[in-house]
Amino acid sequence: MIERIIQEPFSIWTQGSGEFPEIVLSSRIRLARNLKMFPFPSKQTESTANAVLERMEKVVSRNKNFKFYRLAELPQLQRQVLVEKHLISPEHGKDPENRGLIINADGSVSIMVNEEDHLRIQCFASGLELEKLAELANQIDNKIEEKIDYAFDEKYGFLTTCPTNLGTGMRVSVMMHLPGLVLTQQAGRVLHQLSQIGIAVRGLYGEGTEAWGNLFQISNQISLGQSEKEILANINSVARKLISQEEAARNYLKENAGLQIADKANRALGILTHAKVISSQEALSLISDLRLGKTLGMIEGYSLKLINELLLLCQPSYLQVLAKKEMGPENRDLKRAEMIKEKLKQ
Confidence band for 205, pLDDT divided at 50, 70 and 90: low
Taking residues 11-36, what's their average pLDDT?
A: 93
Helix (H, G, I), strand (E, B) or coil at 13: helix
Taking residues 193-208, what's their average pLDDT?
A: 77
Q: What percent of the chain has pLDDT over 90?
A: 81
Average pLDDT score over the chain: 92
Taking residues 292-308, what's their average pLDDT?
A: 94
pLDDT at 339: 93
Taking residues 230-249, what's their average pLDDT?
A: 97
Distance CA 149, CA 132 (A): 25
Residue 210 has pLDDT above 70, yes or no: no
Distance CA 240, CA 234 (A): 10
pLDDT at 202: 85
Q: Is the separation of the CB atoms in 178 and 28 below 8 Å? A: no
User: Of 2-6, 28-32, 63-67, which gets the smallest average pLDDT?
Assistant: 2-6
Confidence band for 204, pLDDT divided at 50, 70 and 90: low
Confidence band for 208, pLDDT divided at 50, 70 and 90: very low
Confidence band for 334, pLDDT divided at 50, 70 and 90: very high
pTM (2 d.p.): 0.92
Q: What residue segments make up the domains of the chain, in order of their start?
A: 2-247
What confidence tens digit (pLDDT) does each residue in 42-67 have? Answer: 999 999 999 999 999 999 988 889 99
What confidence tens digit (pLDDT) does each residue in 128-143 have? Answer: 999 999 999 999 999 9
- For the 2-247 domain, the top CATH level (class) is alpha beta
Confidence band for 232, pLDDT divided at 50, 70 and 90: very high
Q: Where are the alpha helices (DSSP H) in 101-178?
A: 130-145
**The one-letter amino acid at 302:** Y
The number of CA neighbours under 13 Å toward the Cβ of 63 is 17
Residue 27 has pLDDT above 80, yes or no: yes
Taking residues 80-95, what's their average pLDDT?
A: 92
The number of CA neighbours under 13 Å toward the Cβ of 312 is 26
Nearest-5° Cα angle at 17, 262 to 233: 105
Q: Is the separation of the CB atoms in 21 and 103 below 8 Å? A: no
What confidence tens digit (pLDDT) does each residue in 152-197 have? Answer: 999 999 999 999 899 999 999 999 999 999 999 999 899 889 988 8
Query: What is the torsional sign of CA 17, 21, 22, 24?
Result: negative
Taking residues 13-28, what's their average pLDDT?
A: 93
